[in-house]
Amino acid sequence: MSATLELAKQLIARRSLTPDDAGCQELLIERLEKLGFKVERMRFGNVDNFWARRGNVGPLVVFAGHTDVVPTGPESQWVSPPFEPTIRDGMLYGRGAADMKTSIAAFVVALEELPTKLPGSIGLLITSDEEGVAVDGTVKVVEALQARGELIDYCIVGEPTSNLKVGDMIKNGRRGSLSGTLKVKGIQGHIAYPHLVKNPIHMAAPAIAELAKTVWDHGNEYFPPTSWQISNINGGTGATNVVPGEVDILFNFRFSTASTEQSLKDKVHAILDKHHVEYELHWELSGKPYLTPKGNLSEAISAAIQQAYGVTPELSTSGGTSDGRFIADICPQVIEFGPLNATIHKLNECVGVADIDPLKETYKLTLQKLLK
């Protein structure tokens, strides 16, 4: 059996629901130490992370990934149990098969197949808190590396980025995510005495209409235009004869690098003020955007994918946030590439068995292209 498939199965068999790593990292550490990696276990809060490095000259190429997985949903609705890796009709099933235990296995086996003496250095940054709140995971390891001046030249994140065929898409950035909690204030009262009330829903409506039709930016070469969406509106007492005193609105921006956190905030405040809305607004930046323009790393991975899968990847910044946003603080080139994302976070998550060895080959070829 393929060594990558074997290791992927061993990882899937460990029930590593965020933030519990369930022994995945020790399994990897044992194999990496045999290859001459110096491993630092970095536990923050209740999260296991590790940083492994071999070599102390540049360039430093790092693989980043997470051993944690999302909850299974009703296990009885899985065709085979989520933590019993099972091959059926050419697919390997199990929670984490695509997101992202197979990628981790592929990278480790690629290292096992490469000579231990390569020019430059190789690192691995592995966390068990990517799927959760992500406060004690990659961000903390990056802070520790940054504090001692350890910078990364190239980082490959093994997230499942492929869309219809493995290799058709790599991610060279992600949009930012900015949320707002808006409370519009009015004056509560009897609906039959409108001169004694101030209806916050009526006050908010024209501002909402304008926010909804605002073009925030046009995106750029790498990003689609910024989008603004309301996720919740709550107001009213439940009674039909009471005008409520306030209305609560939650909204979120997914923003491109054509806008900034500040430019978006300023525009929202300007629109609310223009409509004379009385309000309180709290902001939360849940992810900064990051962008890796075309360069050595995107070229090396694209050429490796072409060789291993016979597919030419498209660069994309679509999808949710990823740990790439943290790594970008200490690394100028971060690219994400991994299996198909069609089944991630779903029941019966799977990867194609035939796609597993080419993934290992892709990581291996990429390392060979960058470290020569």
Give buried/exposed letters for 86-109 (b at 16+ CB in 10 A, else e). Answer: beeeebbbbbbbbbbbbbbbbbbb
Q: Which residue is nearest to Zn ion (CB)?
A: 99
Catalytic annotation on 68? yes
Return the number of the residue (159 or 217) whose C-beta is nearest Zn ion. Answer: 159
Residues in contact with Zn ion, counted by CB under 5 A, come to a total of 3
Q: Which of 7, 100, 141, 351 binds Zn ion (CB under 5 A)?
A: 100
Give buried/exposed letters for 356-371 (b at 16+ CB in 10 A, else e). Answer: bbbbbbbbbbbbebbb
Return the number of the residue (153 or 323) whose C-beta is nearest Zn ion. Answer: 323
Catalytic annotation on 130? yes
340 binds Zn ion, rule: CB under 5 A: no
Return the number of the residue (233 or 342) whose C-beta is nearest Zn ion. Answer: 342
136 binds Zn ion, rule: CB under 5 A: no
Helix (H, G, I), strand (E, B) or coil at 76: helix
List C-alpha distances in Å: 116 to 3, 28, 31, 75, 111.
Answer: 18, 16, 13, 42, 8
Active-site annotation holder among 130, 217, 323, 349: 130
- Minimum distance from residue 160 beta carbon to Zn ion (Å): 7
Nearest to 212 by CA among 228, 226, 232, 234: 228
Return the number of the residue (68 or 217) whose C-beta is nearest Zn ion. Answer: 68
Query: Do the bridges between strand 333-336 and strand 154-157 make them parallel or antiparallel, or are there none, so unpaired?
Result: parallel
Choices 16-24, 29-37, 96-104, 253-261; region in contact with Zn ion by CB under 5 A? 96-104
- Minimum distance from residue 128 beta carbon to Zn ion (Å): 12
**Positive or negative torsion for Cα 134, 136, 138, 144:** positive
Choices 78-86, 155-163, 185-193, 201-209; region in contact with Zn ion by CB under 5 A? 155-163
- Minimum distance from residue 159 beta carbon to Zn ion (Å): 5
- Minimum distance from residue 334 beta carbon to Zn ion (Å): 14
Amino acid symbol at 112: E
- Minimum distance from residue 115 beta carbon to Zn ion (Å): 30
Return the number of the residue (97 or 371) whose C-beta is nearest Zn ion. Answer: 97
Give the end-to-end CA distance of the chain in Å, rounded to a whole number: 30
Active-site annotation holder among 20, 48, 68, 355: 68
Q: Is 248 within 8 Å of 234 (Cβ atoms)? A: yes
Return the number of the residue (137 or 219) whose C-beta is nearest Zn ion. Answer: 137
99 binds Zn ion, rule: CB under 5 A: yes
Q: Is 159 exposed, middle or buried (0-12, 13-18, 19+ CB in 10 A)?
A: buried
Residue entry with tokens 């430093």: 60
Residues classed as catalytic:
68, 130
Q: List interacting residues with Zn ion (CB under 5 A).
A: 99-100, 159
